[in-house]
Every structure is written in structure tokens, then in C-alpha cells.
Amino acid sequence: MDENTYPNAPEIGNWNRLLEGRVAVVTGGAGGIGGAISSLFAEHGAHVEFIDSDAEAAEAKAASITKAGGSARAHVGDVQQFDIVERFATEVLRAHPSVQVLVNNVGDYRPLSRFRESTPDSWKSMFDINLFHMFAVTRAFLDPMIDGGGGSIVNVHSVEGLRGYPGDPVYGAMKAAAAAFTVDLAVGMGRHGVRVNGIGPDLTQTAQVDYIGTSVGHEHLWESWAPVGRVGWPEDQARVALFLASDLSAFVTGHNIPVDGGTKAGGGWFWSPTEQRFVNRPKGL
């Protein structure tokens, strides 16, 4: 085969600046996983345009990135609202005709409820916070990304969309839909130079963890819940997002990576310190 039949793999360049010169858009980019992604992307040379519904947190994140020598601009708004998404996209694209990276990070457990007690309003809320914005933001930036020569989209959903989740089937269904959207879009957009991948976090130490009651008082159980023996941190998710956003993953598209400390691989099995064996029910841990 002629060695010139196919182009060479992309040059990585400076491994300490993997996103040098690129524009990255991050939703929910002020705190938690999104905040870690914004900071890490800026550290690796991207100019980050992020949006968050918390104005104070957004201002603080932009200031911290700038202080560290990075480049970022904060936008305040709720991407569950289509007019806010359109305004955000207009503001970003006015300054940058194309973007090379998009991270759809927004998502939430709330309103967490058992299905038999759930309501149509709660179903709609789950759709809006976990899926609607992913469609709206992606559509807003997809054509400019293609026109600019391509790029990478990273969808943050949940490991609960990649396995059975009895805690809230509606939440699990929305996350599964986000994972499917990731794969479907990747197949269609690859020939346009756009890669699409997803990450599925499990228990990660953010404000959500306190809300669902798995933080305070449960620290001693973390080593039993995940095969790696600890809870996840936002930086764990951000590093995988960086891999997927950069040319390190130039031949990776259409995949959903569980960033879960091995909980999906464990299939619901827990290590019992009291029994010194794996059990499939956490009783007595």
C-alpha cells in the first residue's frame, strides 16, 4: 500500500497544551465536573466559553482561570431554555465563527423519585435537565464546527444510562438516550470531521453527592462501592473529557466511556470488609 494513500495521524504537538488555539464550549462550566473541565481545558491552551445558571460561581470560575494564565469567558443562563441557548450561541459565534470542542455537561438527578410516585411534570423536568439542552446546544454549534473544519463533541451523561438503574427509571432512560444520541450523531458526523463521544460518571464528589445523601457519613463505604477503592473526583471526569476533546483520541468516535471506578464492570458486586468477599447486596458492609 502506498504510504501516502491515507493521511498520517495528527501531530500531537505539545502534550502539555493539548488544546492549544482551540475554542471550547462547556455547559454547566462553573462548578463540579463542568468546572473541572473548564479549568483543565484552559490549562491546555483552549479558550473556554462556558455557561452556567449560577452567576456568582460563573464569575468566580472565569476569574480563577484568568488568574492561572488561561482564557475564559463566562455566560450566565439556563440551557433548559431554548432562547437562552440561542443567545449563548450567538454571543460565542460572534466572537468565534467556529468552535472546535463542545462539552454538553449539564445534568442532574433532581427531581429524583420512584417511578410509581413520579408525575408527568417530573418526567418533563428530567428531560429538560438531562436531554433537551444536549439537543439544543449541539444543534446550535454543529454547523459552525463543521464549517470550521470539524472538532470534537463530548457528552457527559451517567453510568446509569449504560446499565439498569432501579433508583429512578426515568433518569436512567434519559441518560441512556443521551448515550444513544452520542453514538447516532457520531455515525452521521464522522465524514464531516466531527467526532462525538460520551463519558458516563458514577459517584463523583460534587454538590449533587450531598443532595442524594451519599457523602457525609458514608465515606467509609466508598472503598467498597467502587473496585478502585475510592469515590470519583471532578478531575477524574475532566481528564477523560480532555482525552476525547484532543487529538489523542483522533481515531475514537461513537463511544461512551464509563468513568466510574469500575462499578459498571463490577456489575453491582460489592466488596464486604466484614465477610472478606464480594457480595451482590451491600447488607452488612
Indicate if 171 belongs to the active site: yes
CA dihedral sign of residues 137, 204, 30, 109: positive
The residue from 6, 109, 165, 171 that is catalytic is 171
Give the other-Cβ count within 10 Å of 164's Cβ: 10
Please count the helices (runs of H) and the strands (runs of E) in the chain.
Answer: 10, 9
Per-residue model confidence (pLDDT) at position 14: 87
The beta strands (E) that lie in 178-254 are given as 194-201
163-192 pLDDT per residue, tens: 887 778 898 999 999 999 999 999 999 999
DSSP class of residue 232 equals B
Q: Which of 194, 117, 186 is nearest to 152 (CA)?
A: 194
Structure confidence at residue 245 as a pLDDT band (50, 70, 90): very high
Per-residue model confidence (pLDDT) at position 217: 61
Per-residue model confidence (pLDDT) at position 277: 77
Q: What is the pTM of this model?
A: 0.89
* Residue-range domain boundaries for the chain: 23-213+231-264
Q: Which CATH superfamily is domain 23-213+231-264 in?
A: NAD(P)-binding Rossmann-like Domain (3.40.50.720)
Strands 47-52 and 151-156: unpaired
In angstroms, the CA 103 to CA 50 distance is 9
- One-letter amino acid for residue 238 of the chain: A
Backbone angles phi, psi at 90, to 5 degrees: -60, -45
Terminal-to-terminal C-alpha distance of the chain: 59
Containing 35, the helix (H) or strand (E) segment is helix 32-43
129-161 pLDDT per residue, tens: 999 999 999 999 999 999 999 999 999 998 888
